[in-house]
Homo-oligomer: A and B are copies of this chain.
Amino acid sequence: MPVMSYIQAITQALHEEMERDEKVFVLGEDVGVRGGVFRATEGLYEKFGETRVLDTPLAESAIAGVGIGSAMYGMRPVAEMQFADFIMPAVNQIISEAAKIRYRSNNDWSCPITIRAPYGGGVHGALYHSQSIESVFANQPGLKIVMPSTPYDVKGLLKASIRDEDPVLFLEHKRAYRLIKGEVPEEDYTVPIGKADVKREGTDITVITYGLCVHFALQAAEKLEAEGIDAHILDLRTVYPLDKEAIIEAASKTGKVLLITEDNLEGSIIGEVSAIISENCLFDLDAPIKRLAGPDVPSMPYAPPLEKEFMINPDKVEHAMRELAEF
């Protein structure tokens, strides 16, 4: 299988979906001639032309709203928010509109839009180019939120999102773009939205996380193996709605659970994961449900030592995993 980077998997998925279905199109700021500020849409403009790869005015509510309108009409828009931090002006369109169109019309209308946005820190992007924004949207029935960690999942989930009959917020970890590489099959495939994935089987402790932190946990698990600590790692992949069965199964398996997010701790989606566990398998637990997250400060600062203090990294993860194992 060919090996490619996380961002290449995105570009390829877009390319193939646009070839497969001419209702699929891309819109956003600088997605055309420039191929996106991260180059996620590179080559699409040249291949599919400016009617299917639209450079929009600088207006996120319109990017979402026009996308939503086109989706109601029957197109398959893939809207790009240049940075997830800049999705905020589009919240009304996403929460009040996209998420509620099917429900409010009693299934008469629907809104199959995919909204892509690069999120996450560790790129010296400071407060407004580093945020995790999923929790703003992770309480909106009608919406799905996908946050893949590997190129394989990226490609399969992006295709599934584009083909999905409902709105999907597809969040890409921007630090993973070029850092994370992996095997991706040549043939067409999708990965089901709503299903978590065991990224490592283990028996001593359970780590539940998503995005870049999956890789931190996998690295830490390698190290801890030498110490005789065998970690079970569940990658949520879809953070809304959560895969309850998979969470309960993973938590029950070892009885010791560590939840990790790069987001600020309080109100992050791992609170919900914790609640699911203690509602459903409390008596299987041998230790308090531990959480590792960013601190409760607005977002990570720019200065490198300050950013480092904020960001989750393999060392912090390893430390937390060892502590839990030793509980």
Contacts and interface: CB of A to CB of B under 8 A. Distances in A.
Interface of A: 61, 85, 88-89, 91-92, 95-96, 99-100, 103-104, 127-128, 135-142, 240-242, 263-264, 266-272, 274-275, 277-280, 282-283, 285, 287-291, 296-299
A288 B298 contact: no
Contact of A282 (B91, B242, B263, B289): B289
Nearest to A61: B89
A290 B282 contact: no
Q: State the copy count for this chain.
A: 2
Contacts of A140: 267, 298
Nearest to A302: B104
B267 A279 contact: no
Given A128-B96, A139-B135, A266-B139, A279 B275 contact: no
Given A288-B282, A297-B103, A85 B91 contact: no
A274 B278 contact: yes
Nearest to A259: B275
6 contacts: A88-B96, A135-B267, A142-B298, A240-B266, A271-B272, A278-B289
A60 to B, nearest CB: 8
Contacts of A288: 278-280, 282-283
B141 A99 contact: no
Given A89-B92, A138-B266, A282-B282, 4 more contacts: A88-B95, A139-B263, A278-B289, A279-B291
A271 B263 contact: no
Contacts of A283: 288
Contacts of A268: 139
A275 B271 contact: yes
Nearest to A138: B267
